[in-house]
Amino acid sequence: MTPRYKRVLLKLSGEALMGDQTMGISPDVLQYVAEEIESICRMGVQLAVVVGGGNIFRGVAASSYGMDRTSADHMGMLATVINSIALQDAIEKRGIATRVQSAIEVHAVAEPYILRKALRHLEKGRVVIFAAGTGNPYFTTDTAAVLRAEEIHAELLLKATKVNGLYDSDPVKNSGARFIKQITYMDVIKRQLAVMDATAITLAMDNHLPLVVFSMRDKGNARRIICGEDLGTYIGD
């Protein structure tokens, strides 16, 4: 298969690493995700990854119990550093070089986020994992994914979800939910579809960054989309 895109950013939620557990990281899922990432890299695609932290800590949830939102979000961002290191380890076990770059400086465990260095790593075929979101509270890792994708001039942002794309309502709760094959950024915002927060969608819209929402659960899906197969939901202008 020949890739259609040269540089792609993959966004994984923290929950994607959880598997059937109620929190934390499932070793089997981690291994599976690393294999999927390896298969993308072996095609010569430059891949950056942003991983969330919801499997460990979520700022909004903690602040609803009385914690100051900024403190809670700092914890959430550190949770993404934990996931990034786990992912790095699993990917490197498969013989693919990686670098973790963190938006919050954690010198002993990750490089600081430096765009030019990140670009150099990508050019050398290393997977760059962007940790700690945007480095700012009140943001999400979806927004961080869009921001980093734009900074590195990724041609596509792949957003992995539990289901095979975007629906007009939650397909887990509503069996009548209808699948949406293609949609504009503006319609996602107007219809308040819960695929990404409005900040992330708006940032993608302003910069015309194509998004594909897909399920990582079916093996090879990410690779197939990168090779031009029409899977998942396309969000664009």
Alpha-carbon gap, residue 84 to 104, rounded angstroms: 13
| Residue 124 in marked binding region | no
Options 7-15, 104-112, 121-129, 209-217: segment touching ligand UDP (CB under 6 A): 7-15
Please report, in angstroms and rounded to a whole number, the separation of the first and last CA atoms in the chain: 28
Contacting residue, 122, 144, 209, 226, with ligand UDP by CB under 6 A: 144
| Residue 66 in marked binding region | no
| Residue 137 in marked binding region | yes
Contacting residue, 5, 29, 48, 76, with ligand UDP by CB under 6 A: 76
Q: Quick check: 199 binds ligand UDP (CB under 6 A)?
A: no
| Residue 170 in marked binding region | yes
For ligand UDP, give the closer residue by CB, 162 or 219.
Answer: 162
Q: Specify the pairing of strand 211-215 against strand 156-161.
A: parallel
Contacting residue, 7, 33, 58, 212, with ligand UDP by CB under 6 A: 58
Q: Quick check: 133 binds ligand UDP (CB under 6 A)?
A: yes
Q: Quick check: 86 binds ligand UDP (CB under 6 A)?
A: no
Alpha carbon of 40 to those of 1, 3, 11, 96, 189: distances in Å? 11, 9, 14, 11, 31
Options 8-16, 24-32, 121-129, 180-188: segment touching ligand UDP (CB under 6 A): 8-16
| Residue 117 in marked binding region | no
Size of residue set near ligand UDP by CB under 6 A? 24
| Residue 179 in marked binding region | no
Q: Quick check: 38 binds ligand UDP (CB under 6 A)?
A: no
Options 9-17, 22-30, 112-120, 187-195: segment touching ligand UDP (CB under 6 A): 9-17
| Residue 68 in marked binding region | no
Binding residues for ATP: 11-14, 54, 58, 161, 167, 170
Contacting residues toward ligand UDP, per CB under 6 A: 13-15, 52-54, 58-60, 72-73, 76-77, 79-80, 133-134, 136-137, 139-142, 144
